[in-house]
Structure 1
Amino acid sequence: MDERFVIVGGDAAGMSAASKAKRDEPGLDVTVFERGEWVSYAACGMPYYVKGEIEDLEDLVSVTPETFREERDIDLRTGHEVVEVDPDAETVTVERDGERFEQSYDHLLIGTGARAIEPPFDGIDLEGVFTIHDMDAADAIEDDVSDDLERAAIVGGGYVGVEMAEALAGRGLEVSMFEMLPTILAPFGETAAGVVENHLREQGVSLHLETAVEGFTGDGRVEAVELEDEESVPADVVIVGVGVAPNVSLAEDAGIEIGETGAIATDEYGRTNDENVYAAGDCAEERHVVTGEPAHVPLGLTANRAGRAIGQTVAGSPTETGDIAGTAIVKAFELGASRTGIVDEDEAREAGFDPVSVTIDAASRANYYPGASELTVTLVADRESERVLGASLVGQEGVKRIDTVATALHAELTVSELENLDLAYAPPFSPVWDPILTAAKVLNGQLE
């Protein structure tokens, strides 16, 4: 196969695509340009490296550059930044150490990922103020946190904020969290968020909800977080985790269509408006399984799965990248929280549904079996079609059960069909009626 597959970006989507394409079609020339030095790493593990539970940053690397080059025969070039794409000429312009060259392609994958949003806070450039979205940032934070520091501030109550609160508390710092919304973990729904909020407070985290941060002050190094009304909260280190934005400028400059979410628009095969250009990972849209509309939910499995499918397509076997449900799970000290689909009823109404929901508390195991704990389940459905729309779970164990609901979403199951699933039972693992089945049974009663 005398063709070249060029990939921009060497993390989840890019390296999954490269590996699958080369495996399926060994004669394909596969070249990956990565502007940094890290490739194929587990970004989700970075908070646990900062906490100290992961001893070596290298442990987060799934496959080394040497393995890609020597064992998989992939032309991986780190320290190479693609600065321009010319779809008409089918070339990319690459910069390395101030010098530029062009590389032609037959197929191109844009996997430029996303970047941490840096609001225009005063003092955001002070020493001790960080975002955490790549390995170098994680290493810098871990190196910065020392016995001399006492107080940490987290700006943003999403996944990163909650995980970093645990990480920095685990390093012995007093942690304050600032969130503009009424709750943290907004996509998980008010019930799950409320349980996590109470647990964070029990762990000593000071929560400041519905609180806008104005900036940071300090003499060279950050000393305080400045809030509205001239209120000031001392801080020796600050993590800004207010979300991410897709890196789309390279694609946009090349005339590649940007979707309504702000990410690169793609079809079911990950193809853009240019038939030879694909996009995947945190920079690209996918179709939401519940609404059928484009969505941008940057998660690890989404990137890996889409990249692998595109690699297979380029190698000659067209493969759909798959719909997404936004299934996610997060650890908050001794609690876990998970979610999938549409949990918020207002969001469901905006999508054209008539939502009805229930929240139940159930035991994670048989009540009489040691170690059983309370698991809170919120289940949402459409009243007219009775189709399951989404769910959230929160508890000390068992929140991975969210995968059952995610499967129900992809299968477009009704609440009754979910209730009648034959799920496993044994006292160490579940009550006779699994909490998911119990929630479906209660919700089905409201629909009848």
Structure 2
Amino acid sequence: MSDPFVVVGADAAGLSAASKFRREAPDREVVVFEKGRWISYAYCGMPYFIAGYVDRLSDLLSLSPSEVAERGIDLRRGREVIAVDPDAKRVTVETAEGDRFERAYGDLLVATGARADPGPFDVRGLDGAFTLHNMDAAAAIDAYVAEPEAYDPDRADVSAVDRDRTERNAAMPAPETAAVVGGGYVGVEVAEALAERGLEVRVFHRSGHLLSPFGEAVGSRVEAALEAEGVAVHTDAPVDALVGDDRIEAVEVGSGGGGASPERIPVDMAVVGVGIRPNTELLDGTGFDRGPGDAIRVDDRGRTSLPDVYAAGDCATARHAVTGEPDWTPLGLTANRAGRAIGATVAGDPTPVGDIAGTAAVKAFDTEAARVGILDPDAAEAAGFDPVRETVTAGSRSGYYPGAAETDVTLVADRDTRGLLGGSVVGTDRAAIRIDTLATAIEADMTVPEVERLDLAYAPPFSPVWDPILVAAKVLNGKIDG
């Protein structure tokens, strides 16, 4: 066929697009090139596999290659698209053996995701040092933390796994101490996972509180939750180096620019989670427009600046629901939703990919936290708002009903318009799911008074008469008036 839909990347965005396109345009060819062997896996579930909450690596797979084939999708694994010629509408593909060939496209979707950015730390060739951004890393970490005689190889029960890497890590003496470098999503989740596996865990975070995008109220509660379970949390503690010849021996922790000599802390393991970077190299030389985070800039239909070339998922931007400007917030729903929309658009049904608000949730043992929108006053001011912020503590259920727990809610609004800009929730009793109320309010451009008047459900087992969200809106509205 002369106008195939070519997709680069076989995970959330890529296969969502290919599946939707195949259903809507059954007479057009769709080809998916995937650099590696893994497809359609739950990246967000990997820390829970390491913790032992998930029994098998295969439990994290959404689609198998055979299931993809049954959908009529031509999936080609071990094929890396290394270049795009937008004028000739062709891609250059390299096989795992190093051979190259070209493939024409009618429409092209770049869904190449992102990769771990280890910052200044080179974990390659240093046993016991890891980043966590793919399934092979998850399998290797799971094997490394197990006692050699107790390791269950059936946990890594997927044929795509790097068996040599997994077996090599399984044969090493199990670690007793671990450093987690970075206190973001990955850092908090990995700290819990390693503590659940019996390790003595330290978290080192460069800034003053964990989970920086969630705000200080969340960071403080999560820090306390980790420490209550024996995890040592070090804030304002930038790690300068990983120390070791063949296997990691220690981390060097600096003084944050204070001039003191770095402290060397012995560890048997380190997981670096300091950031990620979008995979955009295949478009180098095409002149494509970049957006925040050096991601591929797209419009409301997922179209790039190149003709008939789309991008979605962790490699692409999206429009922020509060600012209306391009933003880069790589999350799972964003990828799946955008991929599905692009599949429909390419098939002939123009569909918006949807705005994003940075809605996210994370847990640290029994403590749940979530955030949405703009929480940082400096970021709000930079976007042209006059931010007003308030944090309240309210009960999660009626006080007399068993299980009620303190829930902290932070809301940020624009003083002039009273429009809701962002919010966070943290607590131990179904706190995280409450963020969906705020996410919906932001998408609907609601003001704080409108949020205060929401008719939220009340029953003692689920919420007090005044839900914590309503309490926070009431208090913030009063602060604006004052």
Q: Do residues 400 (structure 1) and 400 (structure 2) align? A: no
Deviation at 1:124, TM superposition (A): 5.6
Deviation at 1:200, TM superposition (A): 1.3
* Whole-angstrom CA distance in 1 between matches of 2:123 and 2:297: 35
Deviation at 1:146, TM superposition (A): 2.1
Could you say which residue in structure 2 is the equivalent of 1:425?
Answer: 458
Give the alignment partner of residue 149 of structure 1, picking from 175, 186, 190: 175
Q: Do residues 351 (structure 1) and 383 (structure 2) align? A: yes
Deviation at 1:198, TM superposition (A): 1.5
Give matches, 1:376-415, under 5 Å. Answer: 376-398=408-430, 399-415=432-448
CA contact (8 A) 1:156 1:178 kept: yes
Deviations 1:353-406 (A, max 9, x none): 111111111111111111111110001100000000000000002221100000
Gaps (5+ residues) in structure 2? 148-173, 255-260
* Whole-angstrom CA distance in 2 between matches of 1:166 and 1:265: 35
Could you say which residue in structure 1 is the equivalent of 2:294?
Answer: 262
* Whole-angstrom CA distance in 1 between matches of 2:2 and 2:115: 35
Q: Do residues 117 (structure 1) and 98 (structure 2) align? A: no
* Whole-angstrom CA distance in 1 between matches of 2:397 and 2:460: 6
Corresponding letter in the other structure for 2:443:
H
Gaps (5+ residues) in structure 1? none
Could you say which residue in structure 2 is the equivalent of 1:188?
Answer: 214
* Whole-angstrom CA distance in 2 between matches of 1:367 and 1:252: 59
* Whole-angstrom CA distance in 1 between matches of 2:369 and 2:72: 40
Could you say which residue in structure 2 is the equivalent of 1:108?
Answer: 108
Q: Do residues 364 (structure 1) and 396 (structure 2) align? A: yes
Corresponding letter in the other structure for 1:345:
P
Q: Call closer, same or farther: CA 1:44–1:80 in 2, change over 3 Å.
A: same
Could you say which residue in structure 2 is the equivalent of 1:416?
Answer: 449
Q: Call closer, same or farther: CA 1:306–1:122 in 2, change over 3 Å.
A: closer
Q: Do residues 12 (structure 1) and 12 (structure 2) align? A: yes
SS in 2 for 1:402: helix
* Whole-angstrom CA distance in 2 between matches of 1:344 and 1:256: 30
CA contact (8 A) 2:390 2:411 kept: yes
CA contact (8 A) 1:122 1:214 kept: no
Could you say which residue in structure 1 is the equivalent of 2:268?
Answer: 236
SS in 1 for 2:411: strand
Deviation at 1:194, TM superposition (A): 0.9
Corresponding letter in the other structure for 1:191:
A
SS in 2 for 1:291: coil
Q: CA RMSD in A?
A: 1.2
Could you say which residue in structure 1 is the equivalent of 2:227?
Answer: 201
Could you say which residue in structure 2 is the equivalent of 1:21?
Answer: 21
Give matches, 1:208-357, under 5 Å. Answer: 208-228=234-254, 229-357=261-389
SS in 2 for 1:306: helix
Could you say which residue in structure 2 is the equivalent of 1:373?
Answer: 405
CA contact (8 A) 2:301 2:353 kept: yes
SS in 1 for 2:353: coil
Corresponding letter in the other structure for 1:404:
T
Deviations 1:115-142 (A, max 9, x none): 1002223666311100000111111111
CA contact (8 A) 1:132 1:241 kept: yes
TM-score (norm 1): 0.98
Deviation at 1:63, TM superposition (A): 1.2
Could you say which residue in structure 2 is the equivalent of 1:161?
Answer: 187
Q: Do residues 32 (structure 1) and 32 (structure 2) align? A: yes
CA contact (8 A) 2:359 2:373 kept: yes
Runs (4+) off by over 6 Å: none
Deviation at 1:267, TM superposition (A): 0.6
Corresponding letter in the other structure for 2:134:
D
CA contact (8 A) 1:6 1:109 kept: yes
CA contact (8 A) 2:86 2:286 kept: yes
Deviations 1:45-101 (A, max 9, x none): 0001011111111110011111011x2000011111111111111011111121111
CA contact (8 A) 2:292 2:317 kept: no
Q: Call closer, same or farther: CA 1:411–1:123 in 2, change over 3 Å.
A: closer
TM-score (norm 2): 0.91
Q: Call closer, same or farther: CA 1:119–1:320 in 2, change over 3 Å.
A: same
Deviation at 1:24, TM superposition (A): 1.0
Deviation at 1:333, TM superposition (A): 1.0
Give the count of matched residue pairs: 447
* Whole-angstrom CA distance in 1 between matches of 2:277 and 2:57: 25
* Whole-angstrom CA distance in 2 between matches of 1:198 and 1:170: 17
Could you say which residue in structure 2 is the equivalent of 1:47?
Answer: 47
Q: Do residues 441 (structure 1) and 441 (structure 2) align? A: no
Deviation at 1:212, TM superposition (A): 1.8
SS in 2 for 1:282: helix
Deviation at 1:2, TM superposition (A): 6.4
Deviations 1:170-226 (A, max 9, x none): 000000011111111000001111111112111111112111212122241111111
SS in 1 for 2:390: strand
SS in 2 for 1:253: coil
CA contact (8 A) 1:358 1:378 kept: yes
CA contact (8 A) 1:17 1:307 kept: yes
SS in 1 for 2:463: coil
Moved more, 167-176 or 249-258: 249-258
SS in 1 for 2:58: helix
CA contact (8 A) 2:371 2:435 kept: yes
Corresponding letter in the other structure for 1:23:
R
* Whole-angstrom CA distance in 2 between matches of 1:185 and 1:230: 24
* Whole-angstrom CA distance in 2 between matches of 1:253 and 1:115: 21
Q: Call closer, same or farther: CA 1:58–1:253 in 2, change over 3 Å.
A: farther
* Whole-angstrom CA distance in 2 between matches of 1:283 and 1:200: 32
Corresponding letter in the other structure for 2:355:
D
Could you say which residue in structure 2 is the equivalent of 1:81?
Answer: 80
CA contact (8 A) 1:343 1:389 kept: yes
Deviation at 1:257, TM superposition (A): 1.6
CA contact (8 A) 2:177 2:268 kept: yes
* Whole-angstrom CA distance in 2 between matches of 1:2 and 1:446: 62
